[in-house]
């Protein structure tokens, strides 16, 4: 088999992953796109390992390390997404500017809870 087939497939997978990271707003879809890019890298590593006929199979060993790191990344990423959803009730990446919690207007005191129109009318 020619080396071009897995390389073209990996390039297409990587391009689809980059598109998913740049165009999607949902955090879970962004994580899936990152995994797609990692799998494209894994395909390249194995293809070059087979093509170069490496006796130590360094490409396959690196692929196993990448799979382990990807599994850890998915676990941490989904935990972060679940915590953000629990606090904010959304996982839109564009709307999440800071990780700080929204200020509670009732905790600031009675004046902070009043709408701006009522404060202006009272003056």
1-123 fold: Helix Hairpins (1.10.287)
- pTM (two decimals): 0.73
Q: What is the pLDDT of residues 8-46, one digit of tens each?
A: 999 999 999 999 999 988 889 999 999 999 999 999 999
DSSP conformation class of 92: B
77-80: Cβ within 8 A, 24+ apart = 77/27, 77/31, 77/34, 78/28, 78/31
Give the pLDDT confidence score for residue 105 in this predicted structure: 60
In angstroms, the CA 63 to CA 41 distance is 8
pLDDT score of 117:
56
Domain locations in the chain as residue ranges:
1-123
Please write the tens of the pLDDT for every residue from 67-112.
999 999 999 999 988 988 898 888 888 877 766 666 666 665 555 5
Check residue 101 and give its pLDDT.
Answer: 62
């Amino acid at each position: 088999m020619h080396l071009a087939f897995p390389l073209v497939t990996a390039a297409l997978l990587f391009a689809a992953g980059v598109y998913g990271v740049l165009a999607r707003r949902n955090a879970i879809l962004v994580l899936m796109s990152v995994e797609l890019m990692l799998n494209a890298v894994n395909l390249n590593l194995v293809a070059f390992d087979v093509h170069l006929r490496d006796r130590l199979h360094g490409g396959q060993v690196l692929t196993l390390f990448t799979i382990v790191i990807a599994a850890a990344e998915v676990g941490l990423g989904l935990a972060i997404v679940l915590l953000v959803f629990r606090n904010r009730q959304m996982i839109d990446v564009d709307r999440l500017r800071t990780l700080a919690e929204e200020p509670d207007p009732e905790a600031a005191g009675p004046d902070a809870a009043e709408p701006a129109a009522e404060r202006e009318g009272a003056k």
